[in-house]
Structure 1
Amino acid sequence: MPSFLEGLPFWWLVLALFVVVLCRAQATYWLARLAVTGAARSRWGRWLDSAAVRRGSALLDRWGLPVVTVSFLTVGLQTIMNAAAGIARVPWWRYTIAMVPGCVAWAFVYATVGIALFWAVLAAFAGSPWGVVVLVVLAAAASVAVWTVRRRRRLAADTSRV
């Protein structure tokens, strides 16, 4: 755990993490909501029309706002769902009502097992030179996999448009 968080009592840690995730989620929502208007003419237009945002919007359309709450318990879906709510121009108060329980859950998960698990894994791997090599190789493999999948999807989309 980062040293500035180590000395905090549990409830202060939960509160600090709650404030962090609340600010991040609200910023994502508002950036997406504000960006929609002029985004089609900018470089952000492609991201707003990306497969990930379309999937997030489809989930939001199908399941409604509870998917925003549940997204805080996933890795990778949280930002997309917050942005999808902003893109869909979900009223702020409805979005916030769905977001707050997710923020609370996220704060408790990270205050209890999330941060501790992350730092324990990092320490275990980084404790030896081979651990560092494994971390670097895993990060590189993940980057190559993401790049390859995105490239294939982009090529498939370009081919289907022709």
Structure 2
Amino acid sequence: MHELAFGVEKSGLPFIWVMRKPPLDEEPFAEDMIPTEFEERVSKQGMVLRGWAPQVRILAHSSVGGFLTHCGWNSVIESLGLGKPLILFHGGNADFGLIARLMHWKKVGFEIERNDADGSFKRDLVAACIKRVMVDPEGEQLRANALAIKEIFGNVKEQVLVRVYSSN
């Protein structure tokens, strides 16, 4: 988490980082998960929110240019439904890695490169990936693709029909 925090900071871009409490009470929470004095250093750049946050409402804001996601399917659908490109940082669940690779392959997001052997990653790659997806010219196609796919993921009528049809 520290390396991820340093990468977000190094990107220089504004951010909102929502940290939800881990499911087990004995696991560390935000105070132990982020570097000491991180919030003070980035106070003009971004903010850290602890607990629940209105994710869809945040993503829907016009100033949000992308979404660094753990690659849960609901989060991916919410982001793409609003036309926001993805910065893909998959967690420990088995399907999250597959979702990340699929979204990277579909060119609606970019996966943060990790070491295949141990899952480690470098802050420089985090910063570069964030910038690529959100502001760099080489990310223009990702941003355009995410906006275009909004036609599918953001079509509420179509989504309801698919859900009704698949339940029969």
Larger-Rg structure: 1
Fold-level similarity (TM above 0.5): no
Structure having the higher strand fraction is: 2
